[in-house]
Structure formats: structure tokens, C-alpha cells
Amino acid sequence: MTGRQEQFAGEEAPPPHLAIDLDRLAAWLGPHLPGMDHDLTLTKFRGGQSNPTYRLSGPAGDYVLRRKPPGTLVQSAHRIDREYRILCALRDSGVPIPRPHVYCSDAQVIGSEFYIVDHVPGRVFWEADMGNAAPSERTRVYDEMNGVLARLHMLDSAAIGLADLAPPHGYAARNLHRWSTNYVQSAMAPIPDMDWLIDILPRHLPQQTETRFIHGDYGLYNLIIAPDEARIAAVLDWEMATLGDPLIDLAHHLRAWWDLPDSGLAATSLHGRDLTALGIPTMDDYVALYCARRGIAVPDMRWYLAFAQFRYAAMVQGILKRAADGTASSRVMVHSQDRVWRIAALARATLEG
């Protein structure tokens, strides 16, 4: 394993501030999850979730516990109650998810709210090239990933009980305002291309022709691939799911193709790689397949891609600002200020092209 795969794959003992009193947990689980009221063990998944996630094992088998981080939090952040509601709504949707079992709103049990879902065996690929996978397996996984996203974007949000999840219109404008504000607050030096994008992107805001249930961070790194076949066993990390423009969701998902390689991050990007040799479709072919599955015309993706690139540059800038302030996690070490400049230039070139 190298890079992100080495950094994020696997499990570890929870650090002290994320440890859980297993006796208290077992006492609560007794009437809520049969067979999990004693002899519990717990390990924390190393992957980069903002909501700590653990493998919970006991007499009844393996489950996954996902909790709100302990301590003082921004009120609107880490809404795991919302995540659990979404998982319950998707239970019979045809989109593969870990089956939800129970939600606990009592922060006194383990120190914060939590929910429990099935543990889904399988593989998570943190790098877009899937490491040592065979080209034929990459082809099948990317096709499956495309099909599940198309299926997700065709769900009837009212039929699954999520019509009130978010306002039905104005998704692009709201997100553009949010990320522009975030960038301005975290900028440490002027970046002309970012300033240009903040000015130009709102002037060319596309008309939202449909509102769909969207994931918000759909990618290979948020999928469990079955242990012995190229099948998506579960889609993970629903914390950013909402109602919005599916083309924005698609553009963010396409980051594996448009992202620029950087020190420590090369394998997360397909940019400049021999896709034929890898067994991975081009971005244009992938978009065309998605549209064919949905029965829609292939759109002009330039604005959507430029916005996704701008948003990513703003996210990296925020990480760098937290590093400068001394509040960042270790993952920021793979980012540099030059990366923001280059992604901003890419976004401008995308929009102008």
C-alpha cells in the first residue's frame, strides 16, 4: 500500500479522546440490538471521516458504529441523526447501503449521539487507479460505480420520504456563495484566478432543470467493493447528501479525472495516465455512459466542472489556513499553496475553454 491507501485503509485502537466505555454501550444495546449486550470489542476505522467510525464486534457479529465527535461543535455540523434518516429512507431503494439498525440520541451513553449499521465486508480503494487491481476489474468497478450514481440520481425523493431534506431550488447559488465565503475567510494571499472565479461563476449560473437526491461526495473512496467480485456492496458517508442539481454531484465525482497530481497524491488522480492500459474509461466516455443510463442528453459540463474545481481549491485553502493556525490534521501535509493556485488556474481554463 502507498499514499492514501496506506494512510487511510485499515483499523486501529481508538485514540483516548475517541475511546468508548464498552460497558455503558453494552448496557444500552441490550434492549436495542439483540446479542450485543456483553463481550464487546471496538476498533476505529482509519479512513478520513469527519464523524468517527468504528467496527463493533460482539456475540451477534460485526457492526459499524458511527458517532458525532465529542466536544463542542458547530450546531449544523455532524448531523448524524440526518445521516441515519437518509440510510433508513434508502433501505429499499435499490442503492446499496449498510443496513441501519438503531440510533441513539442520548449523548450520555458514549459521550455523543451515534447510530449502528451492518458491517459490510469488502474493499475500499482510496486511490483512483485501484492499486494492483487488474484492468478488467477496474473496468467493471468503474462501470458499476457509474451505474449506481445514475440509479441514485433517478430516485424519487418524495417516494422515499426525503422531499423535505432541503429547498428544491437554488442549490448552485447557495453552494457557490458558501464556498466563496469560505475561501475569502481562509485566503492568506491574493490568488487572482480565485478572485476571477468568484466574480464570473455567479454571472453564468446554469438553470437548474431538475432537483434530485444527491450524495455530495460520491467517489471510489466512499464505496465498499465486494471482497471477491467487482460489485458495489455499499455506498458510505452520506453526511453531505441533499436535494440539488445532479450535474454538480457528477462534476464533483469526476475529480479523479480532472484533479492535478501533486506530491503524495499522484495515485488519486487519473490526469495524464494511460487510461486504456488501466482499463478505466475517459471522462467524456464516463459522462456519456451516465447520461445514457439516465436517458438525458450529454450536457455542456464546463460550468459544473469549473465550479467543482473552484470548490476543491477553496477546500484546500481552508485546510492550509487551519494548518497555519495550528488546528489542522496530519492529512494537510500532502497539500501546498501551489496546489490552490494550480487548481484555480485549471478552473479558469475549464470555464474559458
Q: What is the pLDDT of residues 299-313, one digit of tens each?
A: 999 999 999 999 999
At a CB cut-off of 8 Å and minimum separation 6, what does 21 contact? 110
Residue 332 confidence (pLDDT): 38
Residue 325 confidence (pLDDT): 74
pLDDT-derived band at 328 (thresholds 50, 70, 90) equals: very low
Q: What is the pTM of this model?
A: 0.90
Q: How far is CA 29 from CA 205, 276, 302, in A?
A: 49, 50, 50
Position 331 pLDDT exceeds 50: no
In whole numbers, what is the pLDDT of the chain averaged over residues? Answer: 90
Provide the b/e sequence for 240-249 (b: ≥16 CB within 10 Å). ebbbbbbbbb
All three cell numbers of 121, joined, read 465486508
Nearest CA among 269, 267, 272, 333 for reference residue 3: 267
Tell how many helices (H) and how many strands (E) occur in the chain. 12, 10
Tens digits of residue pLDDT in 216-226: 999 999 999 99
Rg (CA), the chain: 21
Kindly state the average pLDDT of the residues 33-49.
88
Tens digits of residue pLDDT in 50-106: 788 999 999 999 999 999 887 655 455 678 999 999 999 999 999 999 999 999 999
Helix H or strand E segment including 279: none
Domain 3-118 belongs to what topology? Answer: Phosphorylase Kinase; domain 1 (3.30.200)
Tens digits of residue pLDDT in 185-237: 989 999 999 999 999 999 999 999 999 999 999 999 999 999 999 999 999 99
| Alpha-carbon torsion, ordered 94, 97, 98, 102, to 10 deg | -80
What proportion of the chain, given as a percentage, has pLDDT over 90?
Answer: 76
Of residues 154 and 264, more confidently modeled: 154
Q: Which DSSP string do the residues of 164-214 spell out, in sequence order?
A: TSS-SS-HHHHHHHHHHHHHHHH-SS--HHHHHHHHHGGGGPPP----EEE
Helix H or strand E segment including 87: helix 80-89
| Alpha-carbon torsion, ordered 71, 72, 76, 77, to 10 deg | -40
Position 263 pLDDT exceeds 60: no
Question: 135-352 belongs to which homologous superfamily?
Answer: Aminoglycoside phosphotransferase (APH), C-terminal lobe (3.90.1200.10)
Position 333 pLDDT exceeds 60: no
